[in-house]
Amino acid sequence: MTKIQHTPKIVLVTGGAGFIGSNFLHYLLRSDDIVRVINLDVLTYAADVQNVSGLAEAYPQRYRWVQGDISDLVLVEKLFDEEGFDTVIHLAAESHVDRSIDDPLKFVQTNVMGTATLLHAARKAWKGREDVRFHHVSTDEVYGSLGDTGLFTEKTGYDPSSPYSASKAASDHLVRAWQKTYGLPITISNCSNNYGPHQSLDKFLPVMISKALRDQPLPIYGDGQHVRDWLYVEDHCRAIDCIIRRSKTGQTYNVGGNNARTNLEVVYLLCDLLMDMKPKSGGHYKDLISFVADRLGHDRRYAIDMSKIQQELGWQPQEKFTTGLRRTIEWYIKNPLPKIFL
């Protein structure tokens, strides 16, 4: 096993009320009984305070919630001064492709300027320290679209297609620039599509599950043959934790679930699982599938080569897609989405 390179003690998690962020907070506080965590989140549409409910009561000395914007330099510098962070897990981002097409400047402000603000504050506070770590969580969408074959590797050139993926590509470059120019100890991960409990209310799987349960049409872009690799969120949390502790600084890792499937295949499986878990009174959930006009700039295929993180750090996904999707459906059955989001 790779030796420990960094031991987090006081951690800033940005976007901790969001989907991946909240799951990571639960995971980290549960798995490390020493670490102290500060959750900074501005609470956009993609966040929900209910995602982190109970953490303050369960970990009163080790968890702090701060509502605020990562682009607010005064606030961010104040938090660095107050808490003395030795680790930053940067998850805060505008992340919905359709919304980025409608309002690209908001994505540039949060994903680019917000990241630059955090990097600036970290460099100022850490003053050349090496016992610190800035980990930036990014996406495989920065690589653009694959052809019919091949996989994204850490050496794949960037070719973003949407304002969202372009803003994440820019933030990746900023993080690397702060390492090369200022020597800031950084790591980066580019993950595939996450799924699981607490996901944003307008993402693909939550919408499909909730619409199916309400007997509403299941809208699929284009011909449904767009391919994505699906990563269960708790596997992703373990990967982030693994990288910040075991990776040398300056490294980038692709994190995938080894579950590359077409959107149509995913919805077929979802419908079959729903028929088993909550059968329709008549017909099949597949009858609700409806094809709609394709998204602008819709990348055709993503697929992750995750051999680097497996070989160097010993991480690999544990959740199978069928069992992970079943667990996800169970959560949304118990926690139905408000009709306003559907």
Token duo for residue 298 = 């819709």
Helix, strand or coil, per DSSP, at residue 152: strand
Q: What is the DSSP letter of 155?
A: T
Residues 256/231, Cβ–Cβ less than 8 Å:
yes
Q: Using alpha carbons only, what angle is made at residue 261 by residues 276 and 257, rounded to the nearest 5 degrees?
A: 95
Q: Are 300 and 244 in contact (CB under 8 A)?
A: no
| Catalytic machinery residues | 140-141, 164
Those residues with Cβ within 8 angstroms of residue 337's Cβ, 6 or more apart along the chain or in another chain: 201, 206, 207, 210
> What pairs with residue 13 in β-bridges?
39, 89
289-292 vs 260-262, strand pairing mode:
unpaired
Q: Return the structure tokens found at 37.
A: 């965590």
Query: At which residue do the structure tokens 């419908």 appear?
Result: 271
Q: Which residues pair with 134 in a beta bridge?
A: 88, 186
